[in-house]
Amino acid sequence: MSLVKRISLPKISDPRGNLTFIEGQRHIPFEIRRVYYLYDVPAESERGGHAHRNLTQLLIAVSGSFDVLLDDGKSRETVTLNKPYEGLLIDCFVWREMKNFSSGSVCMVLASRVYEADDYIRDYQDFMRTVRKE
């Protein structure tokens, strides 16, 4: 199965400006417990560089674009996010790195759990050892 799980979000097109909405358990397969966003990211900057043990997230380029590398320990894929009405679902035990942020881009993240530092796997070798054991 592909690592890349894109979710098309509702888009209400309107000459006054478009609108997209997201309801937990309806448009995405989890209840939303947390929202955070990355902004003012320098073009040369890289974010992410970790996996999660229990967290599912949806990433959306609400403005501009950026690339996301996904790695489940067996394969790697890079996708570009650049549509405010399209989300990228990232399951637990998937390593992710975000880069090539365009000027003014905003990466909004909907998360299934509150912030838990212990949920992170921040070392790639630890990640590989963990997924091989699964």
Binding residues for ligand TYD, per CB under 6 A? 34, 36, 38, 47-48, 115
- C-beta closer to ligand TYD: residue 11 or 32: 32
Residue 25: phi and psi, rounded to 5, are 70, 0
Residues 4 and 15: their CA atoms lie apart, in Å, by 32
> C-beta of 17: minimal distance to ligand TYD in Å?
28
Q: Please report, as a single letter, which amino acid is at residue 7.
A: I
Question: Residues 57, 90: contact at Cβ < 8 Å?
Answer: yes
* Smallest distance from ligand TYD to CB 115, Å: 4
Which residues are known to be catalytic?
A: 50
Smallest distance, ligand TYD to C-beta of residue 32, A: 13
